[in-house]
C-alpha cells in the first residue's frame, strides 16, 4: 500500500563505500535505507522519509564455500538460489527458501529473517546465520557472532537477523550449509473443504511427523495456479496440501503411508505422489508462483502473513473468510500451514475511491482475530511500514519502549531506516 521515493540511490560495491555513504549521511543528518532485491512484502526497504537508498545489488560475490565446516561466506547481494546452485554439486544447499528465492538476496533474507515453504523442518534464516560483518549506523564496522561453535556472550547476530535494516547494513554473512537429503517424497492431497485440510495439518504434526514442507492452497488459489502453471491441481477441490518428506530413503515410505492415512481420515478424496523429479518440480512451480498468478483475477492484491497456533488454524481461517465475506471482498488463502503461517490475500481495485482504506480496515480485523487466537503479526514478511502501527495490538507500551532502547543502542540518531517496525511515535527522525 505504500509508495515512497528516495532522493538518491547509491550502489556501493564494497564495505568501504558503505562506510563512506553512512559517514556522509550522519554528517548531514540524512536518513538512509539499505535495500536488497526489493522483494519484501512489508515495505521494509522503502525510503519512507526520502534520503539515501543504499542498494547492495553490486555486492554479490560468494567469497568462500567451506564444505569441511559446512559454511559459506557471501556478500549481501548474492541471490538466495545462486548460493544453493554453487553448493549443490557437492551435495549441499542453503536451506531457507522464500518463494522469491530466484531473485531475493541474502542481505534481504537476513534483514527480514526470511522463511519459505521448507522452513517448517529446518527453521528460518536466523537458524542458518553463523556471523555477520555489519556497518553500524554510527559508521563503525563490527563482526557480530563468530565462526567458532558456541560463541560466548550475547547473540548479537541473532538480534540483527530480522531487524529489518534498522540496526545497520550487513556487508558480509557467514551462513550454514545443509546436506541435501538422501531422498525426497512430494505428495498432493485434495480435500472437499479448507476446514478438513486444516484439521489434517494439525493431525500430521501431532503424530510426530515433521515434513520438510506442508503447504496449503484454497479453491480460489488452486484455480489461479492451475490456469497459469498447469500443475495438475484438481479444480473441484476446496483445498489442497502439498506435503514433502525428506530424509533417509528407507524411512520415507512408512511416513508417507502415515500421512496418506491421516489425510484419508480427514476426508481427502485424492492423494498422489510425484513419480519423478519433473513432477515434483511442476508441483513446486505452482506453489512458488502462486501469489503472482492471482493477477489473472484482479487489478490489485494485498497480502498478509499472520501466524496462529496450528490447532487454531481451522477456526481462524473460518473467521477470516467471514470478515472478507461481510466486507464483500474476494479472498484467497495460501499458507505455510505446517507452522500456522497464514497468507490471506485480498483482491480489490485501488482505483475505486476509498477502497484502500476499506481494505486496511478488514485487514486490521483479520490480524486481531489471529492475535486473539494466540498468534502474532508476522511469520516471515516482517513488520516494516505495513504493520508497525499494529504493534500495540500485540505488545505493551513497556515492551515497545524496551525495543526502542535496543534500537537506539545501535542506531542512536534514528537515521538508519527510520519509521519501520515500531509505531510512528517512536521514530526520532522527522
User: What is the tally of structural domains in the chain?
Assistant: 4
Residue 18 region by backbone torsions, left for phi larger than 0, else alpha for psi between -120 and 50, else beta: alpha
The verdict on residue 386 lying in a domain is no
Q: Are residues 24 and 98 in the same domain?
A: no
Closest alpha carbon to 213 in 120, 275, 339, 124: 120
Q: State the sign of the Cα–Cα–Cα–Cα dihedral 90, 95, 96, 100.
A: positive
Residue 355 region by backbone torsions, left for phi larger than 0, else alpha for psi between -120 and 50, else beta: alpha
Q: Are residues 346 and 240 in the same domain?
A: no
Res. 152 pLDDT band, cuts 50 70 90: confident
> Distance between CA atoms of 349 and 401, rounded to whole angstroms?
37
Q: Are residues 45 and 71 in the same domain?
A: no
Q: Are residues 116 and 170 in the same domain?
A: yes
Q: Which backbone phi and psi does 210 adopt, to 5 degrees?
A: -115, 95
Q: Are residues 191 and 271 in the same domain?
A: yes
Q: State the sign of the Cα–Cα–Cα–Cα dihedral 216, 219, 221, 223.
A: positive
> Distance between CA atoms of 152 and 116, rounded to whole angstroms?
30
154, 179, 204: which is the final residue of a domain?
179
Question: How much is the pLDDT for 264?
Answer: 98
Question: How much is the pLDDT for 110?
Answer: 98
Q: Are residues 112 and 205 in the same domain?
A: no
pLDDT digit string, tens, across residues 57-92:
999 999 999 999 999 999 999 999 999 999 999 999
- As given in the structure block, the three cell numbers for residue 54 are 543504499
CATH number (domain holding residue 206): 3.30.70.2190
Q: State the sign of the Cα–Cα–Cα–Cα dihedral 384, 390, 394, 399.
A: positive
3-class secondary-structure state, position 230:
coil
Res. 181 pLDDT band, cuts 50 70 90: very high
The verdict on residue 90 lying in a domain is yes
> Distance between CA atoms of 61 and 307, rounded to whole angstroms?
34
- Would the pLDDT of 430 be above 80? no
CATH number (domain holding residue 81): 3.30.465.10
Terminal C-alpha separation, the chain: 21
Question: How much is the pLDDT for 151?
Answer: 82
The verdict on residue 134 lying in a domain is yes
> Distance between CA atoms of 419 and 430, rounded to whole angstroms?
9
Q: Are residues 278 and 302 in the same domain?
A: no
> Distance between CA atoms of 414 and 164, rounded to whole angstroms?
14
**What radius of gyration, in Å, describes the C-alpha atoms of the chain?**
22
- Would the pLDDT of 101 be above 80? yes
Q: Are residues 161 and 247 in the same domain?
A: no
The verdict on residue 117 lying in a domain is yes
> Largest Cα–Cα distance of the chain, in whole Å?
65
pLDDT digit string, tens, across residues 29-44:
999 999 999 999 999 9
Q: Are 368 and 294 in contact (CB under 8 A)?
A: no
The crossing angle, in degrees rounded to 10, of helices 252-265 and 194-206 is 140
pLDDT digit string, tens, across residues 182-239:
999 999 999 999 999 999 999 999 999 999 999 999 999 999 999 998 989 999 999 9
> Distance between CA atoms of 184 and 196, rounded to whole angstroms?
25
- As given in the structure block, the three cell numbers for residue 37 are 532485491
Question: How much is the pLDDT for 256?
Answer: 97
Q: Are residues 285 and 302 in the same domain?
A: no
For the residues 140-163, what does the mean pLDDT come to? 93
The verdict on residue 381 lying in a domain is no
Closest alpha carbon to 181 in 92, 97, 119: 92
Q: Are residues 169 and 211 in the same domain?
A: no
The verdict on residue 201 lying in a domain is yes
For the residues 131-142, what does the mean pLDDT come to? 98
CATH number (domain holding residue 332): 3.30.70.2740
Q: Are 6 and 51 in contact (CB under 8 A)?
A: yes
372, 390, 417: which is the final residue of a domain?
372
Torsion angle (degrees, nearest 10) of CA 238, 348, 320, 270:
10
Question: How much is the pLDDT for 107?
Answer: 98
Res. 427 pLDDT band, cuts 50 70 90: confident
User: What is the residue range of 17's domain?
Assistant: 8-55
> Distance between CA atoms of 76 and 107, rounded to whole angstroms?
4
Q: Are residues 238 and 304 in the same domain?
A: no
> Distance between CA atoms of 266 and 283, rounded to whole angstroms?
22
The helix or strand, by DSSP H or E, that contains position 342, with its residue range, turns out to be strand 341-348
> Distance between CA atoms of 345 and 331, rounded to whole angstroms?
6
> Distance between CA atoms of 420 and 198, rounded to whole angstroms?
33
Report how far apart, in Å, the C-alpha atoms of 15 and of each of 39, 110, 132, 135, 268 are.
Answer: 23, 17, 12, 8, 54
Question: How much is the pLDDT for 263?
Answer: 98
pLDDT digit string, tens, across residues 274-331:
999 999 999 998 898 898 899 888 999 999 999 999 999 999 999 999 999 999 999 9
The verdict on residue 304 lying in a domain is yes
The helix or strand, by DSSP H or E, that contains position 86, with its residue range, turns out to be helix 80-87
CA 133 to chain centre: 22
The verdict on residue 403 lying in a domain is no
Q: Are residues 48 and 72 in the same domain?
A: no
Strand pairing report for 32-35 and 52-55: parallel
Question: How much is the pLDDT for 67?
Answer: 96
151, 179, 207: which is the final residue of a domain?
179
Amino acid at each position: 500500500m505504500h509508495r515512497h521515493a528516495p532522493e538518491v540511490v547509491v550502489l556501493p560495491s564494497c564495505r568501504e563505500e558503505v562506510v563512506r555513504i553512512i559517514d556522509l549521511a550522519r554528517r548531514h543528518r540524512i536518513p538512509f535505507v539499505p535495500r536488497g532485491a526489493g522483494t519484501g512484502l512489508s515495505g521494509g526497504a522503502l525510503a519512507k522519509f526520502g534520503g539515501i537508498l543504499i542498494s547492495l545489488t553490486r555486492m554479490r560475490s560468494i567469497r568462500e564455500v567451506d564444505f569441511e565446516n559446512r559454511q559459506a561466506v557471501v556478500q549481501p547481494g548474492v541471490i538466495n538460489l545462486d548460493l544453493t546452485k554453487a553448493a549443490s554439486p557437492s551435495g549441499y544447499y542453503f536451506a531457507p527458501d522464500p518463494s522469491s528465492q530466484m531473485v531475493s538476496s541474502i542481505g534481504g533474507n537476513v534483514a527480514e529473517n526470511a522463511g519459505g515453504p521448507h522452513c517448517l523442518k529446518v527453521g528460518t534464516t536466523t537458524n542458518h546465520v553463523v556471523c555477520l560483518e555489519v556497518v553500524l549506523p554510527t559508521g563503525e564496522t563490527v563482526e557480530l557472532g563468530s565462526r567458532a561453535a558456541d560463541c560466548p556472550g550475547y547473540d548479537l547476530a541473532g538480534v540483527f537477523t530480522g531487524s529489518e535494516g534498522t540496526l545497520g547494513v550487513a556487508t558480509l554473512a557467514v551462513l550454514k550449509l545443509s546436506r541435501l537429503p538422501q531422498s525426497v517424497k512430494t505428495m498432493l492431497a485434495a480435500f472437499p473443504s479448507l476446514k478438513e485440510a486444516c484439521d489434517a495439518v494439525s493431525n500430521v504434526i501431532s503424530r510426530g511427523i515433521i515434513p520438510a514442507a506442508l503447504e496449503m492452497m484454497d479453491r480460489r488459489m488452486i484455480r489461479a495456479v492451475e490456469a497459469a502453471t498447469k500443475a495438475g491441481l484438481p479444480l473441484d477441490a476446496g483445498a489442497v496440501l502439498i506435503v514433502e518428506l525428506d530424509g533417509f530413503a528407507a524411512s520415507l515410505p512408512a511416513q508417507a503411508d502415515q500421512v496418506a492415512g491421516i489425510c484419508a481420515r480427514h476426508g481427502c478424496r485424492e492423494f498422489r505422489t510425484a513419480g519423478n523429479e519433473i513432477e515434483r518440480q511442476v508441483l513446486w512451480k505452482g506453489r512458488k508462483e502462486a501469489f503472482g498468478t492471482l493477477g489473472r483475477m484482479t487489478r490489485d492484491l494485498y497480502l498478509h502473513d499472520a501466524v496462529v497456533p496450528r490447532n487454531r488454524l481451522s477456526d481462524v481461517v473460518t473467521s477470516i473468510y467471514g470478515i472478507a465475506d461481510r466486507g464483500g471482498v474476494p479472498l484467497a488463502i495460501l499458507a505455510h500451514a505446517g507452522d500456522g503461517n497464514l497468507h490471506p490475500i485480498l483482491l480489490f481495485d485501488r482505483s475505486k475511491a476509498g477502497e484502500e482504506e476499506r481494505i486496511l480496515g478488514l485487514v486490521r480485523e483479520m490480524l486481531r482475530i489471529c492475535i486473539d487466537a494466540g498468534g502474532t503479526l508476522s511469520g516471515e514478511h516482517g513488520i516494516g511500514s505495513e504493520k508497525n502501527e499494529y504493534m500495540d495490538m500485540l505488545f505493551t507500551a513497556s515492551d515497545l519502549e524496551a525495543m526502542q532502547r535496543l534500537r537506539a543502542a545501535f542506531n542512536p540518531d534514528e537515521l538508519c531506516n527510520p519509521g519501520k517496525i515500531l509505531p510512528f511515535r517512536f521514530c526520532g527522525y522527522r
